[in-house]
Structure 1
Amino acid sequence: MKIALAQIRSRIGNIDDNIKKHLDFAKKASKQKVDLIVFPELSLTNYEPSMAKSLAFHRDDKRLNIFKEFSTKNDISIALGLPIKLDTKLHIAMAIFEPNMENRFYYKQFLHSDEIHFFQPKSNSSVIELQQKRIKLAICYEFFVQEQREDIASENIDFFLASVAKPQIGMKKAKNELKMISEKNKIPTLLVNAIGKADGMICCGKSFAFNENAEKIEFLNEEEYLLIINLE
């Protein structure tokens, strides 16, 4: 399975521009015959909890149709971040578009203390199947939560995939954590981070991947880039 980590700088609250950038990166990934492209946490709006309510999407939001159409036309799956409103509750979500399939959504189940004033957690499965691979998902803070990773061994996971928005200090901790997950479970672990201003911090990029032996196989610096990893 060929995966692309799209390390991008989203514009704060500018959904139209962010959609265009997502599609530009998806086109680059499609040309490389990528199976799945993954974007950072809340990538469609930028990570801005205080603005999320006014920027929130609904599950059937017509603005998302372009990703569904691109996915089917180009035979590529797309996973991106966005705030989703369900009834009266606001959630951090990952929307997953697959060729000729219904849209799927993963909702962040474990929130950081800074997020609970703006969002609600939502219980749902963090395991998806794509291209006959079982993928364990985590959105940022979640992979530090023991409950989120304790079932990896019993769930027959092929690899662990995290979508985040983190500054320098957070990325240092994230690398240690994902390396430990790889060591313990003998699976590849991948993380895509944002770059640029977000919620008063500076996301530093430096997206990376470890192989099943907990060896770092790929990593980025602090620039916008499409990191392609072959997990065959």
Structure 2
Amino acid sequence: MKICLAQTEPVAGNIAANIQDHLSKVREAIDQSADFIIFSELSLTGYEPEMVKDLALDLEDSRLDEFQTLSDTHNIIICIGAPTKADNGVHISLIIIKPHQVRSLYAKQYLHADELPYFVAGPKQAGIIKAEKTISLAICYELTIPAHCETAKQNESEIYIASVAKTVNGVARNNPRLSEIAKTYEIPVLMCNCVGEFDGNIGGGQSGVWDLEGKLTTNLDKLQTGILIYQVP
């Protein structure tokens, strides 16, 4: 199974521009025969909490249709970071687009204190994608929560992927945790981050892969957009 990490530079609040960039990255992944592609936290809008009420999507949004067509045609699973509408507010979500299936989402269950004024926690769910391999999804702060990783273990996950929006310093703080997860559960761990400005900060990039021994085996740099393809052993 080939997994693609898409490191983008979201344009704050500009869904139309970000969709075009996302589609370009999906096509790059298809050209490299990827089976799965994931984007960073809130990649479709940028991580901009003060804008989310006006930007939140629902799963039936027609602007997602072209992603569905690419998924159906090329048999690729696409996970896009976006704020989504909830009955009681807005979720931080990964919209999951599978070939010839109804769209679904994984909503962030564990919110950082800074997010509480803007977002509501998602329902308790495993965040599991069943594909050629069993993939467990995490969104940023969740990777620091032991219970989240334990759920992944209980569901016999074979790969753990964190979609994040972190600065250079944030990446440095969390890399040891990603390494720890890989070693503890003996599964590859992947992290997909953004670059460029977001919410008054600068994305630190460095999307990468940790092996079963917790070693960072490959990553992108901290400034450039691009894709990283990981062939699961």
TM-score range, shorter chain: over 0.9
Aligned partners of 1:127 and 1:134 also within 8 Å: no
Aligned partners of 2:67 and 2:78 also within 8 Å: yes
**SS across alignment from 1:114:** helix
Return the offset for 1:152.
3.3
- 1:44-84: per-residue Cα shift (whole Å, max 9, x none)? 00000010111111121111111111110121111010000
Structure-2 separation of matches of 1:171 and 1:25: 22
Structure-2 separation of matches of 1:154 and 1:55: 35
Partner residue, 1:173: 173
Aligned partners of 2:126 and 2:151 also within 8 Å: no
Aligned partners of 1:82 and 1:92 also within 8 Å: yes
Aligned partners of 2:129 and 2:136 also within 8 Å: no
- 1:110-138: per-residue Cα shift (whole Å, max 9, x none)? 00111000000012323323323211111
Partner residue, 1:41: 41
Structure-1 separation of matches of 2:52 and 2:166: 17
Partner residue, 1:71: 71
Structure 2 gap segments, 5+ residues each: none
Structure-2 separation of matches of 1:33 and 1:111: 34
**SS across alignment from 1:150:** helix
AA at the equivalent of 2:113: S
Moved over 6 A (4+): none
- Identity over aligned pairs, percent: 36
Partner residue, 2:19: 19
Matches within 5 A, 1:1-232: 1-222=1-222, 223-232=224-233
TM-score between the two structures when normalised by the length of structure 2 = 0.96
Return the offset for 1:179.
0.3
CA RMSD for the aligned pairs?
Answer: 1.1
AA at the equivalent of 1:103: R
Aligned partners of 1:106 and 1:124 also within 8 Å: no
AA at the equivalent of 1:229: Y
TM-score between the two structures when normalised by the length of structure 1 = 0.97
Structure-2 separation of matches of 1:154 and 1:147: 10
Structure-1 separation of matches of 2:107 and 2:198: 20
Aligned length: 232
- 1:154-184: per-residue Cα shift (whole Å, max 9, x none)? 3211010000000011101221101000111
Structure-2 separation of matches of 1:178 and 1:22: 25
AA at the equivalent of 1:231: V
Structure 1 gap segments, 5+ residues each: none
Structure-1 separation of matches of 2:126 and 2:119: 18
Aligned partners of 1:126 and 1:138 also within 8 Å: no
AA at the equivalent of 2:144: F
Return the offset for 1:191.
0.2
Return the offset for 1:151.
3.1
Structure-2 separation of matches of 1:124 and 1:96: 17
Structure-2 separation of matches of 1:153 and 1:94: 20
Structure-1 separation of matches of 2:97 and 2:61: 13
Structure-1 separation of matches of 2:131 and 2:67: 18
Aligned partners of 2:39 and 2:79 also within 8 Å: yes
